[in-house]
Amino acid sequence: MTGYLEGGFKVCVSGLKITKFVRVLSCLICIGAGLFLASCDINPDPVSQSEKTPIATVKPDDLSHLFPSKGRERVELVERNLLGKDYLPGGNLVEYTKKGVRFQKFLIRTSTPEKAIFLMIDLKNDLENAKFIPHLGGYFGSDGGSSVLVMQRGRSLAGVVGLPEIDADNVLREFAQRLD
């Protein structure tokens, strides 16, 4: 007995031919699954694999000319892990003293604005009691007892560490004008 499926495919409904078809199909599925699994790279120790391949670091650009000179104490070009965060790349870290109060400004220049946004979100997730600052599009919180205000502008991630929110806001808004 034969019949037709939708689309005009001829189907034989004889028990013997269906059984052979199922066996062949089962074998093909098993062979396909075996080939798929054989192509997978099973690495039992992924940590040692990453330790073997050193992470290439790109030396950050010296952007110290963007930082105001008034009150500037120290300029540092950090090659990686800015602010001690393993997810942050390198950048510029400048220490200031204003009216006897020490604080820092930092600047990271990324290859795309999206990367800067993702870094800001990662940093925000690390901050305690992080709150959104709408007029800056950034976040204020504390990290290890120090207050941090961070914002993204274009390809840049900029921030102030060590000042109360109102003071940090004023300092960062002034600094952001230099980033345009």
Tell me the residue range of the domain where 138 lies.
64-179
Number of folded domains in the chain? 2
Could you tell me if 136 and 79 lie in one domain?
Answer: yes
Distant-in-sequence, close-in-space partners of 61: CB < 8 Å, separation ≥ 6: 109
Could you tell me if 83 and 169 lie in one domain?
Answer: yes
pLDDT of residue 52: 43
Specify the pTM. 0.67
| CA–centroid distance for 160 within its chain | 20
pLDDT of residue 170: 96
pLDDT of residue 163: 97
pLDDT of residue 51: 47
Whether 19 is covered by a domain: the verdict is: yes
Whether 72 is covered by a domain: the verdict is: yes
Whether 56 is covered by a domain: the verdict is: no
Could you tell me if 26 and 93 lie in one domain?
Answer: no
Low-confidence residues in the chain, pLDDT < 50: 48-55
Could you tell me if 33 and 101 lie in one domain?
Answer: no
Whether 44 is covered by a domain: the verdict is: no
Whether 7 is covered by a domain: the verdict is: yes
The DSSP call for residue 156 is E
Q: Which CATH number do you get for residue 119?
A: 3.40.1000.20
Alpha carbon distance 68, 93 (integer Å): 12
pLDDT of residue 23: 74
Could you tell me if 103 and 174 lie in one domain?
Answer: yes
- Burial degree of 82 (CB within 10 A; 0-12, 13-18, 19+): buried
Could you tell me if 68 and 152 lie in one domain?
Answer: yes
